Chain A
Amino acid sequence: MEFGPGFWGPIVATIVMLAGAGLAGLALFGSRRIAKARPSIAKRSTYGCGEEVNPEEVTADSEQFYSPIRRIFKPFYKYIQPGHSGKLNTYLLWVVIGFVVLMVAIALVLR
């Protein structure tokens, strides 16, 4: 496989990416100097249901972080995720099912 120019020139691409990142950094740095953000105290405060909460207590729930993706793959999370229950007998059932699937697949492919 060729990794040279025309297909995927890694060295040239890396230099371009680094230069791009540098330029983006400079642009960000420059824009900050022009318009420095000055948030008011009210903006810096975080509110839950009307009450004020400490900033470190406000974190996105990591299980629900990609809830739209969870909605897209709803059947997967409804049927497959509960199978990862930590119960050994469920895991053993998976192994037995897997063995049968493998044997049938090998037979279908090689017979």
Chain B
Amino acid sequence: MIEVAPILAIIIPLMGSFLTPLISILTKRYKKERIRDLFVVAITIVTLLLVLHMLPTVWSGNIIVYRLGNWTPPWGICLAIDGLNILVALIVSGIAALVSIYSLMYMKKDTGLGKYYTLLLLILASMMGVTLTGDFFNLFVFFEIMSVSAYALVAFRRNWDSIEASIKYMVIGSLGASLVLLGISFTYSLVGSLNIADIAQKISIIGTNPLPPVLILILALMMTGFCIKIAMVPFHAWMPDAYQAAPSAVVALFAACTTTVGVYVMLRIVYTLFGVAALGVMLIVLGSVTMVVGALMALVQRNLKRLLAYSCISQVGYILLGVGFGTALGIEGGLFHLLNNAIYKALLFMCAGAILYRVGTCNLDELGGLSKNMPVTASLFTIGALAISGVPPFNGFASKWTIYIAGIQAGKAFFTLLAIIVSVLTLAYLLKAINAIFLGQRPKRFENIREAPMTMLFPMMLLAVLCIVLGVLPSLGIDIVTPAYNSLTNQYGYIHAVLGGI
């Protein structure tokens, strides 16, 4: 394995984002803007290849520890890559590569693309940083870079709606970041370290049964901060506004990646940092509330992107529910759903973008009969909708089924029943969307609407294929998430690998 692969996975997109404005100026002067766009695609693909390069090492049970400047942890900054964060890095880099390809055509009509691609690479670098770092303060810094890039991307179109949504997102996100920073400050004052493994070791010495009041405060502060990012109820209100206003390519990235990164950090805090699996009951209750509120709100939406945003909120509930069950099957189901959610959520938002690109609106009341004009998009949207609703043989069914079985085995039949009902509601609101967009009477002004361009269809097709493959071969999905499960439940393995027996 290339020894510097972990740091390259962060530095390459980061340097790429710094170079993009320069390349943008040069390519604009010579009227070769396509070169800039392809440069960005190349950067995202290289990042994905670096993650794929690290996969075999991590999947064979190793934890990659990269020490910056050869300083030994906990004094130096390190990157620590285990089965959990390599899964997240795979999702982030894979979806980012597809989003960059999708953006080639989708963003073509926009101006200021130099800024767009700079922010796209910056958010990729920051997500990789949050995912791969083994240091809590670095995690916070990358998390803030990710958030600031996200605020700017939401406001990219600079219309009234997007600026308003961005400001709301920024205010709520900044409040969350302040709480996280406060939590980190308290942690540092308590244990005198910022290294995740070192903090985990010291907290395990303090003891978590019962948890001292200051640790309860720290846990609440951090969880609130990261719950805002994953839009768990009641911290979710910013998401529908932001997702409705942001460009669809950006929303596909947010829905698939920033949520995944947020869930990852929360799991890292609960399992690795605090080692408090007892919080499962709380995750189950909050997950269930999130599932129900998201689904019931999605049911009454008129705008497709807003409907999908509420759907995002609802699906996060499933992930928390699975992980909250605390059993091997539940955690694997939750992680499998995390992977699946990234795939079909990116697909659905890309489909929404394709509709918006051709028709110019996502208002369900203004659409209709588009399956005649956009048969491929209609088919891909239907695949995504069926997958997210948990209809066999798509991937959503496999992960939801795993969660249902885990719930019954854990003796949580009520929550399992709730999850099944929410699944039915999911199918209901997505059938409403399919009916409103693709079926029924086609307004006369849509007669000449054409299918989305191939550059946009290609990433969507790839995601749809993944929905089918992981549904027909669910064991493959379970195999992908098993190393993540092993890492999540092996707190001492992580501490030992990073600190090397200190």
Contact = CB atoms under 8 A, between A and B. Distances in A.
Nearest to B367: A59
Chain B, interface SS category: helix
A92 B171 contact: yes
Interface string B418-430: 0000000100110
A83 B398 CA distance: 34
B168 A88 contact: yes
A110 B299 CA distance: 36
Interface string B423-464: 001001100100110001111100000000000000000000
Contacts of B440: 59
Interface string A93-111: 0110111011101110111
B224 A102 contact: yes
A103 B223 CA distance: 9
Contact of B293 (A70, A80, A110, A111): A80
Contacts, number: 150
B298 to A, nearest CB: 11
Nearest to A83: B237
Interface residues of B, number: 71
B211 A11 contact: no
Interface in A50-94: 55-56, 58-63, 65-66, 69-70, 73, 76-77, 80-81, 83-84, 86, 88, 90-92, 94
A42 interface: no
B392 A13 contact: yes
B368 A10 contact: no
Given A10-B393, A17-B392, A65 B237 contact: no
A86 B443 contact: no
Interface of B: 167-168, 171-172, 175-176, 179, 208-211, 213, 216-217, 219-221, 223-224, 227-228, 233-235, 237-238, 240-241, 276, 278-279, 281-282, 285-286, 293, 296-297, 299-302, 329, 332, 364-365, 368-369, 392-393, 398, 401-402, 405, 425, 428-429, 432, 435-436, 440-444, 471-475, 478
B127 to A, nearest CB: 23
20 contacts: A1-B405, A1-B478, A3-B478, A10-B393, A14-B393, A61-B365, A62-B364, A63-B301, A69-B299, A73-B296, A77-B300, A94-B234, A95-B172, A102-B282, A106-B219, A110-B209, A110-B210, A110-B211, A110-B279, A111-B211
Give the one of B221, B296, B392 with max A CB within 10 A.
B296
A8 interface: yes
A70 B237 contact: no
A111 to B, nearest CB: 5
The interface size bin for chain A is: 35 or more
A91 B238 contact: yes
B296 A95 contact: no
Interface string A1-40: 1010000101101100100000000000000000000000
A37 B181 CA distance: 68
Given A55-B441, A103-B220, A3 B398 contact: yes
B204 to A, nearest CB: 14
B217 A103 contact: yes
Contact of B278 (A11, A73, A99, A109): A109
Given A1-B478, A63-B300, A110-B278, A13 B393 contact: yes
A10 B477 CA distance: 13
A81 B223 CA distance: 25
Given A66-B428, A69-B428, A84 B278 contact: no
B65 to A, nearest CB: 30
A88 B428 CA distance: 30
B235 A98 contact: yes
A55 B179 CA distance: 54
A66 B430 CA distance: 12
Contact of A59 (B332, B365, B472, B473): B365
A66 B299 contact: yes
B441 A56 contact: yes
